[in-house]
Structure 1
């Protein structure tokens, strides 16, 4: 009996990769099909919001490519997700980007890193927040420059009169 156990142990030790291979292959197929199902769900039930990056981790031996962790809210509930992006594209923690997700299952989501946004709070007369909008980060700078130019033009027109 003891000899059989030792022989089984030696066999497993020598051929463990053959025993584990089917499990690894099945795992890859399940991950692939789950990813495809998630993509189709997002495509069929598409909703868009904005999310904020709160953390990241490097992808093995790729210093520029990172997995970014983000959060967003939908119907008052907080959801999280991860998407892959590049530091060289200016993606960083604290950045706000669009998030595409399934309105049927918001756990199916992905962040789009093409344009960074900035949160803009809208206040009422009493100083209470009434709404939140998001503007293209570059657009905010353009709007500020436009305001400065308009103020300058107003001053120069007053001087002429």
Structure 2
């Protein structure tokens, strides 16, 4: 019996590539079809990063999961990224998706966005996404004076 198991395992090892090749090919072509669908029917929205999981333990590559809305319906996706890219939960990024099948999507981690809720000229509420690097903080004159006093007190101590 032990000899039978050894010979069976030997056969499995020899033909494992043949067994897994169709799975790898199907995954590859499925991925290519998804990318083509996004390119042909592309639209852009913004998604929020909801969580991440390590790709491989002790490495800085992670899978980031995100959600986005299209026509009132929520979709989710995932994409890989590096920890050094400062991708955190709750951050917003542009998501490219297929208008024919919004489940085909990809997120772009290059520029982080923040959302601002405002009122349009017609009086309707609307959400606008602005790159975080372009957000300007308004500081009151009172706060400017307090900051200046703190700066002066730090300079005099040094």
Q: TM exceeds 0.5?
A: yes
TM-fit CA distance, 1:18: 2.7
TM-fit CA distance, 1:19: 3.7
Matched, 1:97 2:97: no
TM-fit CA distance, 1:46: 0.4
Give 1:144's aligned residue.
Answer: 137
TM-fit CA distance, 1:80: 0.3
TM superposition score normalised by structure 1: 0.76
Q: Comparing both structures, which one devotes a greater share of its residues to strand?
A: 1
Pair 1:129–1:60, CA change in 2 (3 A) = farther
TM-fit CA distance, 1:67: 0.5
How far does the alpha carbon of each residue in 1:93-134 deviate from its partner, in whole angstroms, 9 at most, with x for none?
11100000110011110000000001111158xxx9711111
Structure 2 portions without partners, runs of 5+: 145-158
SS in 2 for 1:93: coil
Q: 2:83 is matched with which residue: 82, 87, 112?
A: 87
Matched, 1:59 2:55: yes
Q: 2:70 is matched with which residue: 67, 74, 96?
A: 74
Moved over 6 A (4+): none
Give 2:156's aligned residue.
Answer: none
Counterpart CA distance in 1 for 2:18 and 2:44 is 39
TM-fit CA distance, 1:9: 5.2
Structure 1 portions without partners, runs of 5+: 153-161
Give 2:130's aligned residue.
Answer: 135
Counterpart CA distance in 1 for 2:58 and 2:109 is 18
Counterpart CA distance in 2 for 1:113 and 1:136 is 12
SS in 2 for 1:114: coil
TM superposition score normalised by structure 2: 0.78
The 5 A counterparts of 1:99-114 are 99-114=95-110
Contact 1:53 1:69 in 2 (8 A): yes
When the two chains are superposed, the root-mean-square deviation of aligned CA atoms in Å is 2.6
Counterpart CA distance in 2 for 1:23 and 1:123 is 58
TM-fit CA distance, 1:14: 3.0
